[in-house]
Amino acid sequence: MSANTFGNNFRITTFGESHGKAIGVIIDGCPSGVDFDIAYIQSELDRRRPGSTDIGTKRNEKDKVEVLSGVFEERTEGTPIALVIFNNDQKSHDYSTIKDVFRPGHADYTYFRKYGIRDYRGGGRSSGRETASRVAAGAVAKLVLKDYGISVHAGIRSVKDIDIKGDFHPPFKAPLYTISNEHDDEILTLIEETKKKKDSLGGVVECHITGVPAGLGEPVFDKAEALIAHAVMSIGAVKGIEFGLGFASTKLYGSENNDEISRKGFLSNNAGGILGGITNGEEIIFRAAFKPTPSIAQKQHTIDINGMEKEIEIIGRHDPLILVRALPVVEAMSALVVLDLLLENNKYGR
């Protein structure tokens, strides 16, 4: 099935190339009568926007969202909500140097092999710009979830080998939105040095979803972890995901890992709020691994569309660390899944 649509009940369809005329999203299945807070949606987009932080790229599209349908007198109609962001910065020539060359770590090679087309304008659909549509849709999902008392927050748990300890208490502070700000100076220094080296960094994002009722998740193939993993792994640069203790749980005995239950609830949350693929009423907790940004100005070996070997240096506007801008994207994809499962569960009046 063509795969620019996500979700079964609250279902989004995104479109748009990074340097095309516009990008956007159609939201289908949004309940009617929801107060449509466009300012909030724009504020979420601003979190993702390049140049939103002084560590981001210098590119600045403004990313002004426009509503084409689905909203009447500031409330949702239950009809498809069309949100569009026109691209007012289409400097394709920035990319012309790499016109026929495949950037290592990018989708240039695989898209060319799949579609036989080389859209050299900044990666087309594979560009991170596509995620703006997800953030816009996720913001609408968050507006609906708020009425259910459900909230989603993501923060940075690690940057390269700098692990950030401490409990998860959002909201987190600018400019890095790390879970505790202890290491911010260290990280900002690392970012500066990395820039100088014409290199880039990765890290781990942690996300918590609070207020989720027990009972969400559809056995056996649409378990809550499975759908969230699908959603989050569909974000470019994510190479791994784990729930609760995740990989660390493999090093424990069952007696250490099991969450015992008391009249007051679970005595621990090693499971990350999900048992047998169904939410148990505890906080949903997961972490996503972001590989270092593939766009680097260092010389790299590659080939062109004719198979000739080349050397490439990716000049231009690139984040050495994508994590900060990735936070609203991770939150958006999580919100979409939780709302989708909530509506699914409603079918049975649960």
Q: Which of 79, 151, 180, 269 binds a second copy (CB under 8 A)?
A: 79
62 binds a second copy (CB under 8 A): no
Q: Which of 153, 225, 330, 331 binds a second copy (CB under 8 A)?
A: 225
Dihedral angle of Cα 224, 171, 148, 338, to the nearest 10 degrees: -20
User: Rounded to whole angstroms, how far apart are CA atoms 322 and 236?
Assistant: 11
Find the shortest distance in angstroms from Cβ 266 to a second copy.
9
Phi, psi of 84 (to 5 degrees): -130, 140
* 177 touches a second copy by CB under 8 A: no
Judge whether 272 and 245 are in contact, CB under 8 Å: yes
Given CA atoms 98, 100, 101, 105 in this order, what sign does their dihedral have? Answer: positive
Write b or e for each residue in 151-179: b if 16 or more Cβ atoms lie within 10 A of its Cβ, otherwise e.
bbbbbbbbbeebebeeebeeebeebbbbb
For residues 229 and 324, which CB has a smaller minimum distance to a second copy in the complex? 229
Contact pattern for a second copy over residues 7 through 26, marking x by CB under 8 A? -xxxx-xxxxx--xxxxx-x
Residue 208: phi and psi, rounded to 5, are -120, 135
Neighbours of 50 (CB within 10 A): 20
DSSP string, 105-157: TSSHHHHHHHHS---TTTTGGGSGGGHHHHHHHHHHHHHHHHTTT-EEEEEEE
Is 81 a binding residue for a second copy by CB under 8 A? The answer is: yes
Part of the chain binding a second copy (CB under 8 A), chosen from 40-48, 52-60, 172-180, 270-278: 270-278
Q: Which stretch binds a second copy (CB under 8 A): 69-77, 146-154, 164-172, 173-181?
A: 69-77
Of 45 and 323, nearer to a second copy (C-beta) is 323
Contact positions with a second copy (CB under 8 A) in 90-119: 102, 104-107, 109-111, 113-117, 119
196 near a second copy (CB under 8 A): no
d(CA 41, CA 347): 28
Which residue's CB is nearer to a second copy, number 6 or number 171?
Answer: 6
Q: How many CB atoms lie within 10 A of CB 217?
A: 25
Name which of 174 and 214 has its Cβ closer to a second copy. 214
Which of 55, 302, 324, 331 touches a second copy (CB under 8 A)? 302
Helix (H, G, I), strand (E, B) or coil at 46: helix
Site string for a second copy, 133-172 (x = CB under 8 A): -------------------------x-xx-----------
Among positions 58, 147, 214, 313, the unique one binding a second copy when judged by CB under 8 A: 214
Which range binds a second copy by CB under 8 A, 36-44, 122-130, 168-176, 177-185? 122-130
Among 45, 136, 164, 227, binds a second copy (CB under 8 A): 227
- What residues contact residue 222 under an 8 Å CB cut-off, 6+ apart? 277, 341
